Amino acid sequence: MIPEVRPLFFHSTRRKLSRNKRYEQAKPMNSLPQIINEKEIIEHFSSGIIATDADGIITHINRRCKEKLNIGGNDLTGKSIFQVLPLFQPIVKACLKQGVSLTNQTIKTNHDQLVIHANPIRHRQSIIGVVLNFQIAETLEIFARKSASYKKLNRQLETIIGASSDGIWVCDSRGNVVTINGASEKLNGIKAEDVIGKNVAELLENKNFDQLVTTKVLASGSQETIVQQIKKTNRVLLCTGTPARDENGDIALIVVNERDMTELENLRDQFEQHKKLTEKFKEELSEQTRRELQDNAIITESTLMKQILVKSLKLAHIGASNILILGASGTGKGLLAKSIHQNSIRRNNPFVEINCAAIPENLLEAELFGFEKGAFSGAAEIGKVGLFELAQGGTLFLDEIGDMPLNLQTKLLKYLDDKKFRRLGGTKSIHVECATISATNRDLPELVEQNLFREDLYYRLSSFKLEIPSLCERKDDIPGLVRFYLQKYNKKYNRSKWISHNAVKQLTNYSFPGNVRELKNIIENGVVLSEDDNLDSYLTSTEDSKDPQLPSFNLPQSLHNIDLPATLDQVERQLLLTARKHCKTTREMSAFLNINQSTVVRKLQKHGL
Ligand SMILES: Nc1ncnc2c1ncn2[C@@H]1O[C@H](COP(=O)(O)OP(=O)(O)OP(=O)(O)O)[C@@H](O)[C@H]1O
């Protein structure tokens, strides 16, 4: 704040001037000693003082004024102010014309800024001159700084700047650092005293910083923002420099605000990594599905199966969702689901598959819907994208849906209703558009009866139903499947095994409780293990042991060449077959074999059962 400097001399001067004729030397006042006349007083004033007549002719100009304006010994009295000091012309003219005092007017000289008060000199009704009284702005500032209100304001400002959790730098118009706050010291790893008073160019030269936004503001004259890496503290700062302008529109200060972006940057990096990983997964999934479909053509000769294929293609072409595929284990439900996806408009998006029975109940929700960082003890640091999110735009295949726990059924139903869900421990709803295909070998209406499956979910999931018959109900498919897999595994293992028509015929009489999966495994085993190129005897000899009534373990006949892993494998397979004969579901099998359900599912798959 610049206090108004009152021209103390003015009243007496005016009185005197009006008393005398025109601008003769002022006479000494009665109350003052003879030697101190008004001119002396004016001469010793700390402000610069110039008086002119109505035409702008200088009548008085004091010593201070000469010093401040660098006039030297030149006596400007009697000269036109408009010519000798043209920078005062606008104020003098305005004051003469308007006849009013003009206070706190500013003028810039080459070196300084002057704060001027101009007062008209009146005689009777007319204005006979002007008196100018000016100070250098800096002098006023020094004076102002000493005032109590300035000090108070300064303290307030220091508190505000100091309290800011953002870093703050203030530079003057030349880029000299005026002040920085504590937050900035910490963020930049510097001490205020090492930078205050220094020029930003110098700081850059000394390699204290690799860039500073102040230099950009000085160059452009407008607000600038940069992202700055601070090597010393390993932080990333978002720096915004804003110019503050004076009344003439010139830059007076540059205020720089520094916001710590490190955490945000870390989060962004994690997000990017996550996104890349998800994209990679998606690509791999699509690729895998494509590959699988190329390898796994649906082989069928039976009318029943052909009808199902035609229906499934229709559903694929209309982009149907909520398809329920029923059928015993190994009949090809998964294969059909993939084929529907591959023939739909979603084919270029992921096909994501989950076996609801193979994943422990407490992990299934996290697997399906994902979780946020710290959602539960042991939750990974950055959380996890669920399979629903991975299936965005594609198809989510819920295998063994009948084994989905009731609490999850509710969450699934909610998703199917509004296509939104929340990750475990999450607060944000995530929108995912994907088709769902479910499959089960269980009797869902029966589960509904037993209150083990929600009725509403059953109807929601089964907008379209496809029921695949067991292989023994479509024996026509067996020869084609045998040929297909024989060719496939001959190629894979570089063999040339073959089967006679008779052997194939014999195989059609076999019940294949493990359906196509079992047939496929028998052929693969034959191609790999049979000593002869003709598989007939291998297939007929193993046929009995494929369908045992009781577990019969082929223990090694001699103590030589014992292959423990292979023997254990065989025992495991036979026990699984026995268990399956006695149990309807994998849950029952898990109780029968005294292992958990997910292990049952895994082992059945391992043995191709
Ligand atoms: N018609 C078919 N043509 C060729 N291969 C088939 C056919 N049906 C099934 N398969 C093959 O049989 C194996 C089992 O099929 P799939 O996994 O689709 O059965 P599933 O009914 O889903 O079994 P589960 O209920 O145990 O999950 C797969 O390797 C699949 O490629």
- Mean pLDDT over residues 85-106, rounded? 90
Give the CA count within 13 Å in the CB-facing half-sphere of 527. Answer: 23
Q: What percent of the chain has pLDDT over 90?
A: 42
Task: Report the pLDDT value the prediction gives residue 523, as an integer from 0 to 100.
Answer: 92
* 330 Cβ below 6 A of ligand 1: yes
Query: Confidence class of residue 288 from pLDDT cuts 50, 70 and 90?
Result: low
Classify the C-alpha dihedral 415-418-420-422 as positive or negative: negative
Q: Using CA positions, which residue lies closest to atom 8 of ligand 1?
A: 332
pLDDT digits (tens, 9 = 90+) for 167-181: 999 999 999 999 999
| Residue 249 clears pLDDT 50, i.e. is over it | yes
3-class DSSP state of 9:
coil
* 2 Cβ below 6 A of ligand 1: no
| Residue 533 clears pLDDT 80, i.e. is over it | yes
* 399 Cβ below 6 A of ligand 1: yes
Task: Report the pLDDT value the prediction gives residue 152, as an integer from 0 to 100.
Answer: 81
Task: Report the pLDDT value the prediction gives residue 606, as an integer from 0 to 100.
Answer: 84
* 526 Cβ below 6 A of ligand 1: no
Alpha helices in 509-596 (DSSP H): 515-529, 536-546, 564-582, 586-593
Instruction: Report which ligand 1 atom has the smallest distance to the Cα of 468.
Output: 21
Instruction: Report which ligand 1 atom has the smallest distance to the Cα of 327.
Output: 21
Q: Choose from 202-206, 334-338, 514-518 the range with maximum mean pLDDT.
A: 334-338
Query: Confidence class of residue 553 from pLDDT cuts 50, 70 and 90?
Result: low
| Residue 146 clears pLDDT 60, i.e. is over it | yes
Residue type, position 335, single letter: L
* 298 Cβ below 6 A of ligand 1: yes
Query: Which of 120-124, 194-198, 312-316, 549-553 bottoms out in mean pLDDT, i.e. has the lowest?
Result: 549-553
Strand 177-180 versus strand 167-172 pairing type: antiparallel
- Domain 267-467, architecture per CATH: 3-Layer(aba) Sandwich (3.40)
CATH number of 148-260: 3.30.450.20
User: How many other CB atoms are there within 10 angstroms of residue 34's CB atom?
Assistant: 6
DSSP string covering 350-379, please? -EEEEETTTS-HHHHHHHHH-B-TTSSTT-
> Distance, CA 335 to ligand 1 centroid (Å)?
6
d(CA 257, CA 237): 9
How far, in Å, are 164, 246, 501, 533, 535 from residue 526 at the CA level? 78, 93, 16, 9, 6
3-state secondary structure 382-413: CCECCHHHHCCCCEEEEECHHHCCHHHHHHHH
* 516 Cβ below 6 A of ligand 1: yes
Which of 303, 305, 331, 335 gets mutated to test ligand 1 (max ligand atoms within 8 A of its CB)?
335
pLDDT digits (tens, 9 = 90+) for 379-393: 555 678 899 999 999
Determine which helix (DSSP H) or strand (DSSP E) holds 598, and give its type and residue range.
helix 597-606
| Residue 554 clears pLDDT 70, i.e. is over it | no
> Distance, CA 445 to ligand 1 centroid (Å)?
24
How far, in Å, are 5, 148, 152, 153, 410 from residue 2 at the CA level? 9, 13, 15, 13, 73
Task: Work out the mean pLDDT of the chain and round it to a whole number.
Answer: 83
> Distance, CA 518 to ligand 1 centroid (Å)?
9
Q: Using CA positions, which residue lies closest to atom 27 of ligand 1?
A: 329
> Distance, CA 437 to ligand 1 centroid (Å)?
15
* 300 Cβ below 6 A of ligand 1: yes
> Distance, CA 214 to ligand 1 centroid (Å)?
68
Instruction: Report which ligand 1 atom has the smallest distance to the Cα of 331.
Output: 21
Task: Report the pLDDT value the prediction gives residue 545, as an integer from 0 to 100.
Answer: 40
> Distance, CA 53 to ligand 1 centroid (Å)?
112
Torsion of CA 475, 480, 483, 486, to 10 degrees: -70
| Residue with the larger pLDDT of the pair 17 and 351 | 351
User: How many other CB atoms are there within 10 angstroms of residue 265's CB atom?
Assistant: 15
Q: Which residue has the tokens 């007062």?
A: 119
ipTM above 0.90, yes or no: yes
DSSP string covering 139-194, please? HHHHHHHHSHHHHHHHHHHHHHHHH-SSEEEEEETTSBEEEE-HHHHHHHT--HHH
> Distance, CA 298 to ligand 1 centroid (Å)?
9
Query: Which of 212-221, 281-290, 356-365 bottoms out in mean pLDDT, i.e. has the lowest?
Result: 281-290
Q: Using CA positions, which residue lies closest to atom 29 of ligand 1?
A: 517
Q: Using CA positions, which residue lies closest to atom 12 of ligand 1?
A: 517
pLDDT digits (tens, 9 = 90+) for 445-472: 999 999 999 999 999 999 999 999 999 9
Classify the C-alpha dihedral 441-521-355-568 as positive or negative: positive
* 585 Cβ below 6 A of ligand 1: no
Task: Report the pLDDT value the prediction gives residue 404, as an integer from 0 to 100.
Answer: 93
Cα angle, residue 305 at apex, residues 336 and 475 outer, rounded to 5°: 120
pLDDT digits (tens, 9 = 90+) for 55-67: 999 998 888 888 8
> Distance, CA 534 to ligand 1 centroid (Å)?
26
Task: Report the pLDDT value the prediction gives residue 142, as an integer from 0 to 100.
Answer: 67
| Residue 574 clears pLDDT 80, i.e. is over it | yes
Hey, do 10-142 and 148-260 end up sharing a CATH topology, with the first three levels equal? yes
| Residue 419 clears pLDDT 90, i.e. is over it | yes
Instruction: Please name every residue paired with 126 in a beta bridge, in sequence order, or none if there are none.
Output: 123
- Mean pLDDT over residues 533-550, rounded? 62
Instruction: Report which ligand 1 atom has the smallest distance to the Cα of 399.
Output: 27
Which of 301, 307, 331, 519 gets mutated to test ligand 1 (max ligand atoms within 8 A of its CB)?
331
Task: Report the pLDDT value the prediction gives residue 557, as an integer from 0 to 100.
Answer: 54
| Residue 340 clears pLDDT 80, i.e. is over it | yes
Q: Using CA positions, which residue lies closest to atom 25 of ligand 1?
A: 329
Task: Report the pLDDT value the prediction gives residue 544, as an integer from 0 to 100.
Answer: 43
Instruction: Report which ligand 1 atom has the smallest distance to the Cα of 605.
Output: 26
Which of 296, 353, 519 gets mutated to test ligand 1 (max ligand atoms within 8 A of its CB)?
296
Give the CA count within 13 Å in the CB-facing half-sphere of 252. Answer: 7
> Distance, CA 334 to ligand 1 centroid (Å)?
6
CATH number of 10-142: 3.30.450.20
d(CA 65, CA 366): 84
- Across 406-488, the runs of DSSP E, i.e. the strands, are 420-422, 429-431, 435-440, 464-467
Task: Report the pLDDT value the prediction gives residue 296, as an integer from 0 to 100.
Answer: 59
How far, in Å, are 246, 266, 383, 434 from residue 594 at the CA level? 85, 47, 34, 37
Which among 449, 447, 429 is positioned nearest to 438, based on CA atoms? 447
Task: Report the pLDDT value the prediction gives residue 123, as an integer from 0 to 100.
Answer: 86
Q: What percent of the chain has pLDDT over 70?
A: 85
- Mean pLDDT over residues 226-231, rounded? 88
* 332 Cβ below 6 A of ligand 1: yes
Which among 198, 461, 226 is positioned nearest to 325, based on CA atoms? 461
Computed on alpha carbons and rounded to an integer, the radius of gyration of the chain in Å comes to 47
DSSP string covering 195-249, please? HTT-BHHHHHHTTS-S--HHHHHHHHSS-EEEEEEETTTTEEEEEEEEEEE-TTS
444: tokens are: 């869902």
Task: Report the pLDDT value the prediction gives residue 555, as an integer from 0 to 100.
Answer: 55
Task: Report the pLDDT value the prediction gives residue 559, as an integer from 0 to 100.
Answer: 55
Task: Report the pLDDT value the prediction gives residue 7, as an integer from 0 to 100.
Answer: 36
d(CA 50, CA 44): 13
* 299 Cβ below 6 A of ligand 1: yes
* 68 Cβ below 6 A of ligand 1: no
Task: Report the pLDDT value the prediction gives residue 448, as an integer from 0 to 100.
Answer: 94
61: tokens are: 């100009």
- Mean pLDDT over residues 176-187, rounded? 92
User: How many other CB atoms are there within 10 angstroms of residue 295's CB atom?
Assistant: 9
Q: What is the domain partition of the chain in residue ranges?
A: 10-142, 148-260, 267-467
- Mean pLDDT over residues 151-176, rounded? 86
> Distance, CA 332 to ligand 1 centroid (Å)?
3
3-class DSSP state of 465:
strand
